[in-house]
Chain A
Amino acid sequence: MSDWKLKRQIVQVGAFLLVMVAVLSLYIAYLAVWEGQELAENPLNMRGAAAKADIRRGTIFDAHGRVLAQTQNDGTRTYPLGQVMAHITGYNGENIGSAGLEGHANRELLGLTADMSRLGPAAQLLQTDRGNDIKTTIEADAQQAAYDGLAGRKGAVVVLDADTGAVLAMVSAPAYDPNNVEDNWKAMSQEADGPLLNRTVQGLYPPGSTIKPMIADAALTDGVTNEQETFDCPGILDVGGGHSIRESHGEVHNRVDLRKALTESCNVTFGTLGMRLGDDKLKKAFIRFGFDQSIGGEIVMTSSHLPDFGNLGSGDQAQTAIGQSTLLVTPMHMALLASAFAHGGTVMKPYLVQEVITPGGLVVHKAIPEKWLTVTTEAMAAKIHSFMEDVVTKGTGKAAQVSGVEVAGKTGTAENPHGEDHAWFIGSAKLRNRNIAFAIIVENGGGGGKAAAPIARKIILSLQN
């Protein structure tokens, strides 16, 4: 065997191995580039989460710079106000997901501006190791007053700036402590109406009499009544089909006009108006006030549950007009309804994040108040507002009076299948520097004027100075 044969065979083996290496290289390129995105985003790949864990989450502040959530030097996240702010801050846990601002403002808190993971090493130049801070619209004092006002009872409180839509307080009770939410996660997550439910935006309740300002608006707008007409209230209204609706506590209002009917929360009058309005006009009113809509973004409000308009009998029409029947609404929506009459007939879109501030102090995002809906005319809003002022000065909502402050409101006592009536109070107040609107519900609290209106008073006092 000659020498050239050996050389040929060495070259053959060399070429074979180099081809194998080339195939392997192509395969790796296929893995890294074509399959790369899929592998990088695989839910089992912990690298994305780990990269985020390397970033120190920003701080969440209230409107005056009080810390609501911050990351300590050892990496733990603390919530100084605990349960009081639970549904504002929310939580963020590796195994339990996130909620509240920790979830909705996650990108801002981590300082992620865009997905730069595919930019390679250059992305590190743009990525900070400390996320942005968030300044919320929350007034910690009002939030605390609302939380204390509920005093351990189940319920929800929403306080808005009627002129801007800024959320000043948002309390849902019972609440969890975000500092140790993971400890009793299992029990909490199985409870459908437990502490994890944010009742302000996800809780659905019959509005009871608090819907009456809107019915008054609808009745006047659609001309089924006028301010001069008087209604005769014998304390009971026959709604046909052998059914009737009664006044609470067997009251008898005798002769009332619309203003007086609202002030005294007369079921007979509003039941009558409901039947006069009929399905179409009731439906139009609910749509005009946005009850068919939900809200997304940093406040995720579910839409209301409306009765089956078009198939209602006269009894259901009357029940709908006094906030019963199958009508279910969120406390947030009732606060928005109250804000409409305090703000000339327009509803501002609610928001929670006022500013996003970089660690260097630069404001990268500033909330701009935005109109959500125009629900009624300015004149009509002023008229209903003056009716609602009477509720507080001489009607069912006297417990909300604060000397020197113009307070308007409407009480509600909603019958429900879970026991004692839900106590409602919605309304607005003209403070020195702003115009607030609120909605308060105490589950199974009894009469709205007794159980809910005093909480409004506490909130107004906390915001007065």
Chain B
Amino acid sequence: MKNWGLLTAPLGIFLCGMSVLYLKMQGAMQKVTNTTLQDPLVYVPYLLAAAFLTIVIQMVVIKRHLDTFILPIILMLVSIGLVEIARLKPALLLRQMQWLCIAMLVMFIVIRLWPKIKRMLNYPYLLGIGCVFLLGLPLLFGTEIGGSKNWLVLGPVSLQPSEFGKIILLFFLASYLSDHRRVLTLPAHKFLFLRLPPLRFIAPLICIWGLAVLMFVVEKDLGSALLFFGMAVLMTYMATGSKSYVFLAMAFIGIAAAASYALFGHVRVRFDIWLDPWADPNGMAYQVVQSLFAIGTGGLWGTGFGFGHPGFIPEVHTDFIFSAIVEEMGLTAGIMLIICYALLFWRGIKGALKLKNASEALLMAGCGVLILLQMFIIIAGVTKFLPLTGITLPFVSYGGSSMVSSFILLAMLLSLTKEQKNV
């Protein structure tokens, strides 16, 4: 199965979406400018470049007998994201398409160099130190953008190290946990009903948890903190199957959360907004309340693409893009979006179960978990299911770092499907 046909769906979505926007503008007799909508000539070269890269990558995928379903699923998400950005912040469409091309280029390189990259799994401690270093950078040199101090500004580009740190973390967890699976399950100490191994084995894990809490308190980046912590817990359980760790982690985060609620004002604000956004709907809780309004107004079928008012939500093109999609395209589109992620996750888990090498299996399952968990955290945040966090919706939201790191994860996931013969 080559699945070339599936690749036409994302292209179709993009072209249809852009046509609707042009037609709507014609009706209102507006002129094409940078602020209303981009001139097609500006971004078509990048569209062609992305299409070319897609064909090249898919050819590599077919040649190496990798999973041919994954790329079409992801491109669906990407095309919905591009159309939505063209509608919300037309001026940013070009930047996003440039980032898409860069991301796909990086993805191609990762797939080509995978055998070498895979060797990183042999150096768990180096990975651990790298991870701590990368995540520590913004703690020391970070710049605050949009309320979170998790940005590094290097001349003209702003980077979010945590976007790349999460990939290194994934490598570290896969490598460390597969090495120490047996040791970690040794019941060395019995403490109440918990069975714990010697402290020196779980020290790295506690380190990661602590780092996550630190990220939240110092960088005010609840999203990444939750993502890192969730990853660490889920990966540990996948590797060891020990419920003691899960319990320990929950206790740890519970205490940390209670302590930071008591000690730090911004933490308290976040939780109070979550508990009762209607207490201050025009102030602190404005974003969440507007997001709920967007989803409620959209209803089952949405207001129609281009006919809603998602502009009322601040930062709608990054963190809140899901609310904009539901407002204009309805619950149906929102659920389909979630299903795309679930399908990708399903392919990832399915692939992981076929791998013989424990570290590779953990890495692959981890890739799937990371993408799904990130989607879960941000969508839960914008719908008030969980406290609001500031992370991107992978592949959909506007953002260069997020796009590149998501495509690296995708390349890893794709490369690891190699063992499968023509699924």
Residues of B within 8 A of A6 (CB): 181, 238-239, 358, 361-362
Those of A205-222 within 8 Å (CB) of chain B: none
Knowing A21-B338, A28-B383 touch, does A42 contact B299 (C-beta < 8 A)? no
Interface 1/0s, chain B 161-186, versus A by CB < 8 A?
00000000000000000000110010
| Nearest-Cβ distance from residue B236 to partner chain A, whole angstroms | 10
Max chain A Cβ within 10 angstroms of own Cβ: one of B299, B326, B361, B380: B299
Residues of A within 8 A of B375 (CB): 21
Indicate if A46 sits at the interface (CB-CB under 8 A): yes
Indicate if B369 sits at the interface (CB-CB under 8 A): yes
A5, A11, A32: which contacts B299 (Cβ < 8 A)? A32
The reply to whether A24 and B380 form a contact with Cβ atoms under 8 Å apart is yes
Interface 1/0s, chain A 1-22, versus B by CB < 8 A?
1010111111111100110110
The reply to whether B302 and A9 form a contact with Cβ atoms under 8 Å apart is no
Residues of B within 8 A of A39 (CB): 292-293, 295-297
Knowing A17-B369, A27-B383, A47-B308 touch, does A11 contact B303 (C-beta < 8 A)? no
The reply to whether A36 and B297 form a contact with Cβ atoms under 8 Å apart is yes
Knowing A6-B358, A10-B352, A39-B292 touch, does A29 contact B331 (C-beta < 8 A)? yes
The reply to whether A120 and B239 form a contact with Cβ atoms under 8 Å apart is no
Residues of B within 8 A of A29 (CB): 331, 335
Cα of A120 to Cα of B349 in the assembled complex, Å: 37
B239, B300, B304, B308: which contacts A33 (Cβ < 8 A)? B300
The reply to whether A120 and B300 form a contact with Cβ atoms under 8 Å apart is yes
The reply to whether A14 and B345 form a contact with Cβ atoms under 8 Å apart is yes
| Nearest-Cβ distance from residue B295 to partner chain A, whole angstroms | 5
| Nearest-Cβ distance from residue A235 to partner chain B, whole angstroms | 69
The reply to whether B303 and A120 form a contact with Cβ atoms under 8 Å apart is yes
Of chain A, the residue at the smallest CB distance from B305 is A121
A7, A10, A47: which contacts B312 (Cβ < 8 A)? A47
Interface 1/0s, chain B 374-395, versus A by CB < 8 A?
0110011001010000000000
Of chain A, the residue at the smallest CB distance from B356 is A3
Residues of A within 8 A of B300 (CB): 32-33, 36, 120
Residues of B within 8 A of A11 (CB): 349, 353
Cα of A40 to Cα of B298 in the assembled complex, Å: 8
Cα of A124 to Cα of B282 in the assembled complex, Å: 30
The reply to whether B293 and A47 form a contact with Cβ atoms under 8 Å apart is yes
Of chain B, the residue at the smallest CB distance from A22 is B342
The reply to whether B28 and A31 form a contact with Cβ atoms under 8 Å apart is no
The reply to whether A13 and B237 form a contact with Cβ atoms under 8 Å apart is yes
Residues of B within 8 A of A8 (CB): 241
Knowing A39-B295, A121-B307 touch, does A32 contact B345 (C-beta < 8 A)? no
Indicate if A118 sits at the interface (CB-CB under 8 A): yes
The reply to whether A40 and B239 form a contact with Cβ atoms under 8 Å apart is no
Residues of B within 8 A of A3 (CB): 356, 358
Of chain A, the residue at the smallest CB distance from B184 is A1
Indicate if A45 sits at the interface (CB-CB under 8 A): yes
Of chain B, the residue at the smallest CB distance from A41 is B296
Cα of A82 to Cα of B298 in the assembled complex, Å: 40
The reply to whether B296 and A27 form a contact with Cβ atoms under 8 Å apart is no
The reply to whether B331 and A28 form a contact with Cβ atoms under 8 Å apart is yes
The reply to whether A24 and B338 form a contact with Cβ atoms under 8 Å apart is yes
Knowing A11-B353, A24-B385, A33-B299 touch, does A40 contact B293 (C-beta < 8 A)? yes
The reply to whether A31 and B295 form a contact with Cβ atoms under 8 Å apart is yes
Interface 1/0s, chain B 329-362, versus A by CB < 8 A?
0110011001001100110010011001010011
Those of B172-218 within 8 Å (CB) of chain A: 181-182, 185
Residues of A within 8 A of B132 (CB): none
Residues of A within 8 A of B345 (CB): 14, 17-18
Of chain B, the residue at the smallest CB distance from A42 is B293
| Nearest-Cβ distance from residue A185 to partner chain B, whole angstroms | 21
Interface 1/0s, chain A 114-140, versus B by CB < 8 A?
000111111110000100000000000
A18, A36, A46, A124: which contacts B296 (Cβ < 8 A)? A36
Indicate if A25 sits at the interface (CB-CB under 8 A): yes
A20, A25, A50, A121: which contacts B302 (Cβ < 8 A)? A121
Write 29 A-B pairs (CB below 8 A) sorted by A numbering.
A6-B181, A9-B241, A12-B237, A12-B238, A13-B369, A14-B346, A14-B365, A14-B368, A14-B369, A18-B342, A24-B379, A24-B380, A25-B335, A28-B334, A28-B335, A32-B296, A32-B330, A35-B296, A36-B296, A38-B296, A39-B292, A46-B312, A51-B309, A117-B303, A120-B299, A120-B301, A121-B301, A121-B305, A121-B307
Instruction: Give A contacts to B, CB under 8 Å.
Output: 1, 3, 5-14, 17-18, 20-21, 24-25, 27-29, 31-33, 35-40, 42, 44-48, 50-51, 117-124, 129
Enumerate the 10 nearest inter-chain pairs by beta-carbon distance, A residue then B residue, closest first.
A39-B296, A120-B301, A121-B304, A32-B331, A14-B349, A45-B293, A124-B304, A36-B299, A36-B296, A9-B241
| Interface contacts beyond A24-B338, A32-B299, A36-B297: sample of 5 additional A-B pairs, CB < 8 Å, sorted by A | A14-B349, A18-B345, A28-B326, A28-B383, A45-B293
